[in-house]
Structure 1
Amino acid sequence: MGHVYTHARVVAALLIREIAARFGSKPGGYVWALLDPAAHVLLLTIAFQAIARAPALGVSFPLFFATGYVAFQFYQAMTSYLNGAVRANKSLLNYPSVAPIDTVVARYFLQFGTTAMVAVVILGVIVVWMRVPPELSWPPILEAAFVGSVLGLGVGLINNVMFVKYPLYEKVFNIVNRPLMLISGIFFLPDAIPHPYREIILLNPLTHLIMRFRTGFYDEYRAIGLDMSYAHMFAFLTLFFGMLLFSASSTLLRNE
């Protein structure tokens, strides 16, 4: 119990340090955390309103793109922030009480809280401004957000090790990870993709998470092909493998 308490105190201290380093003492850092995703949603809305009469689902372009982009960010922003957790806190690992996993856990909590705050503000503003606000269903929204963050955590754990062991892997990962935004269902509904391409798209677990997230905003959305058991299995297997790899490489991460 004392060991757990020590790690909890270390994580709390690291969390405060990460908040100060990321956002600083001025409100500008928090504002940018909101402006960046809001700008993406605005640009997508403007672009697609110029070429389509209505979004693929519902009547609101901002809501459609926001539900896709925000759901995606629970994975994407998490992975991006966790990838450099150990490297950014390398000097602190000289203290025996600070373990490599503490740096990852602290960043996980900070990023999850940040993305959740962004989601509430952006989606809340859009919903309030709609003429007929949707009736929200919280279980699918929370489920998609949590599973997406778990997948991001698993990938982040793997990347902290692989980036150190194999520098080329970092370049390959960035190349492979970049087009995920285009093929995860942010701009379209996988239901509308013809066979056999729909089945290929549905191999991407992020597609299922975005579909699930949207069912919390659109009660008429049937989400054909949605399989959350597949998304759960993929996310938790990734987390399990990431934890094994990270634990086995703790000495390497501390001494690298």
Structure 2
Amino acid sequence: MGHLTTHSRVVGALLVREMATRFGSKPGGYVWALLDPAAHILLMTVIFHAIARAPALGTSFALFFATGYIAFQFYQATTSYLNAAVKSNKTLLSYPNVAPIDTIVARFVLQMGTTSLVAFIVLARPSRHARRHGTPLALNPRGGGARLRLRPGVAIVNCVLFLKYPLYKQVFGIVNRPLFLISGVFFLPDSVPAPYRDHVLINPLVHIIMAFRKGFYPEYRAVGRDMDYLYGIAFLTLFAGMLVFTLSRKTLRNE
């Protein structure tokens, strides 16, 4: 019990430190966390509104892109922020009470709270606009459990492999870069013709976005969404991450 209390205090201290480092003492840092996704969604809305009569789902371009972009950001922003958790707090690991996993937990809590708040604020206006124009909304985002497991699982693996294998970091960046275009942010994966649909559905992020959108659009059938597959990938990455992390504790402290 005392061990858990110590780590809780360490995580709390790291959380305060991360907030100060990331957002600073001025409110501008927090405002930018909101403006960045809002600007992306606005840009996509303007572009696609000019070239298409209606979105692929519903009547609101803003809500369609917001549900896709926010769902994708739950993964992308968290993994990007957590990947360097251990490396950025290297000097603190010289203290015996600070464990490498504490740095990841602190960043995960901060990013989860930040992304959730941003999602609530950004989605509020498009949702009200869609309702006024006759789009029925369920407003019940799904797939949260899988998102919570997939994000730290990938990040924990990366924290270790980025330190041990610099080439892996480059390869991961190359593979991760096009995910924004192929994960269903701009389109409905179930509308992709066969056999290409089967290839698209291999990407677990596609299932996360489909589940998230289904929580907002009750009429959306989300054909091809496989929550068992998504949870399986999430638990597998989390297990692999914890295993690699446990076996590399000395490496994380010394390198």
Residue number in structure 1 paired with 2:191: 192
The 5-angstrom pairing of residues 170-189 of structure 1 reads 170-189=169-188
* Matched residue, 1:46: 46
| Alignment-derived partner of residue 135 in structure 1 | 137
The one-letter code matched in structure 2 to 1:123 is L
Partner of 2:156 in structure 1? 157
Q: Report the equivalent of 1:22.
A: 22
Deviation at 1:209?
Answer: 0.6
Pick closer, same or farther for the CA change 1:153–1:213 going to 2, 3 Å.
same
Per the alignment, residue 214 of structure 2 pairs with: 215
For 1:185 and 1:107, the matched residues in 2 are separated by 27
Per-residue CA distance 1:84-107 (angstroms, 9 max, x = gap): 000110010000000000000000
Contact 1:71 1:145 in 2 (8 A): no
Q: Determine the structure 2 residue equivalent to 1:57.
A: 57
Aligned-residue offset at 1:135: 3.1
Q: Which amino acid aligns with 1:47?
A: I
Q: Give, in angstroms, the shift of residue 249 of structure 1.
A: 0.4
Query: Using the alignment, how far apart are the partners of 2:149 and 2:112 within structure 1?
Result: 10
1:1-256 matches, within 5 Å, as: 1-130=1-130, 131=132, 132=134, 134-138=136-140, 141=141, 143-256=142-255
Q: CA deviation at 1:30?
A: 0.5
Q: CA deviation at 1:134?
A: 3.7
How far apart are residue 236 of structure 1 and its match?
A: 1.0
Instruction: Give, in whole Å, the separation in 2 of the partners of 1:99 and 1:133.
Output: 49
Change (3 A) 1:120 1:127: same
TM-score by length of 1: 0.96
Mapped partners of 2:44, 2:116: distance in 1: 21
CA distance in structure 1 between the partners assigned to 2:228 and 2:110 by the alignment = 27
Alpha-carbon RMSD: 1.0
Amino acid at match of 2:32: W
Whether the 8 Å contact between 1:72 and 1:148 is mirrored in structure 2 is no
Which SS does the other structure have where 2:69 is aligned? helix
Secondary structure of the residue aligned to 1:50 is helix
Following superposition, the deviation at residue 191 of structure 1 comes to 1.1
Q: Is the 8 A contact 2:138 2:216 kept in 1?
A: yes
Give CA-to-partner distance per residue, 1:42-71, whole Å, 9 cap, x none. 111111111110000000000000000000
Deviation at 1:185, TM superposition (A): 0.4
Task: Return the alpha-carbon distance in structure 1 between the equivalents of residues 117 and 216 of structure 2.
Answer: 17
SS of aligned partner of 1:203: coil
- Distance in 1 between residues matched to 2:115 and 2:143, nearest whole Å: 13
- TM-score, with normalisation over the residues of structure 2? 0.97
Deviation string, structure 1 residues 195-221 (Cα, Å, up to 9, x no partner): 000000000010001000001110110
**Percent of residue pairs bearing the same amino acid type:** 64
Q: By how many angstroms is 1:136 displaced? A: 2.5
- The alignment partner of 2:143 has SS state of helix
| Structure 2 counterpart of 1:14, one-letter code | L
What letter is aligned with 1:135? L
Q: Which amino acid aligns with 2:169?
A: E
CA contact (8 A) 2:60 2:129 kept: no
Aligned residues of 1:71 and 1:144 also touching (Cα < 8 A)? no
- Contact 1:144–1:209 (CA under 8 A) maintained in structure 2: yes
Q: Is the 8 A contact 1:191 1:198 kept in 2?
A: yes
